[in-house]
Amino acid sequence: MLSVSGSSLTHLESRALRDGLNVSDGHPRMPLTPSQERIVAGIPDLFHEALRRPFDEVEEQAQRAFLHGIGQRRAPIGTGRLVSCYSSSTAMDMVARALAGRTSTVALIHPTFDNIPDLLRARGLRLVPVPEHELDGDHAPQLPEDVGAVFVTTPNNPTGWVLPAPAMARLAKSCARAGRVLAVDACFRAQDPRAQYDAYEILEASGVEWAVIEDSGKLWPTLELKAGFLAWGEGTDLPLLDAFNDVLLSVSPVVLLLIDRLAEDGGRGGYRDLHQLIAGNRALLRDLLAGGPMLVADPESRISVARVTWGPAGPDADTVYRELVGRGLHVLPCGPFHWARPAEGRRLIRVALGRDRAEVAAAGRVLAETARGWNL
């Protein structure tokens, strides 16, 4: 029997790369747009440009194009407090390492992608789950005194929940008063305009010690040519630069130039096209499942994944996952997202929407047929 229990979400995603219809991972796998095709065709020119230009000049240009294009105009570009990493997961591990020297306990949003709690625990940190609704309420969450940092993902994967600007300000000020670090994973920011208020301006104004992780890898189908970005505050007393220097020298300037060009294209309509693709695929999946027991959850979500749920009479998510793989379809069971209480995800699977419309249609048909076969 195909093993699900004990497997990380990334391990399940890696299975989907081998064969079958993959709506498992949240990486963009839709076709390039015509303007993106032209940018990719110019990669040899970017290579020669990168050879001619100083790295720091290329890096600042790419960071500015990317971050300013999604509303983050107060990001600390050119200050030495913003570094480029191979991936957002690399940046997260740097944050986890730095936090482990500061505290033993971190409050972490619940649910969220399981590699975040895995990376934090691997550094010896104890985790306290904090539900989304406690983070965006009228008051900052009440946390145990030993919590030394709060880690928030916004927009959150898999729910698409976004921490609004006023709630971000309340949380940051609360952390500042308590002497806690506020770490923010904003890797899906570019997919949802509601998350594109200037978080850096809010964080700096609050006086909190902070770190923010951004990511280009959720936007463009560039076959893992991407970068993560790690930023921190002027008054943040964490050895983040040491953690960075111990891991890598730099990302490729060719990749940074590619990000620069794609970010410019995003500002000329590419982001609008991406948002429309995701919204259209979400609506398509919802229509294909209409009238059956499976429903698309999280109606307010705008990110490139959708949770699908069903009633209590049907099988659990691991069983559904195994059945779907047997039919050639790869999704994710949602138990591991609920890292502190996996049972909360037992009636949920996650479907990726960053795909060609025909792939989402094929996935929706398999889901509908499977539900009918079980007579859910």
Which residues are 130's β-sheet partners?
109
- What's the CA gap between 226 and 254, in Å, rounded? 10
Structure confidence at residue 373 (pLDDT)? 80
Going from the C-alpha of 104 to that of each of 128, 232, 237, the distances in angstroms are 11, 20, 16
Which residues have CB under 8 Å from 57's CB, separation 6+?
none
Task: Tell me the pairing of strands 295-296 and 305-309.
Answer: antiparallel
Structure confidence at residue 8 (pLDDT)? 85
Structure confidence at residue 3 (pLDDT)? 56
**Structural domains of the chain, ranges and CATH numbers in brackets:** 9-33+267-374 (3.90.1150.10), 34-263 (3.40.640.10)
Enumerate helices (H) and strands (E) in the chain, giving the number of each: 14, 13
Please tell me the pTM assigned to this model: 0.96
Structure confidence at residue 283 (pLDDT)? 98
Structure confidence at residue 6 (pLDDT)? 65
Model confidence pLDDT, tens digit, residues 258-267: 999 999 999 9
- What's the CA gap between 280 and 17, in Å, rounded? 24
Structure confidence at residue 5 (pLDDT)? 62
Contact between residue 122 and residue 79 where contact means Cβ atoms under 8 Å apart: no
Which positions of the chain have pLDDT values less than 70? 1-6, 16, 375-376
Token digits of residue 193: 């305009």
Contact between residue 176 and residue 145 where contact means Cβ atoms under 8 Å apart: no
Model confidence pLDDT, tens digit, residues 204-233: 999 999 999 999 999 999 999 999 999 999
C-alpha torsion sign, points 172, 175, 181, 186 = negative
Structure confidence at residue 20 (pLDDT)? 84
- What's the CA gap between 244 and 217, in Å, rounded? 19
Structure confidence at residue 2 (pLDDT)? 57
Contact between residue 292 and residue 273 where contact means Cβ atoms under 8 Å apart: no
* DSSP3 helix / strand / coil % (the chain, rounded to 5): 45, 15, 40
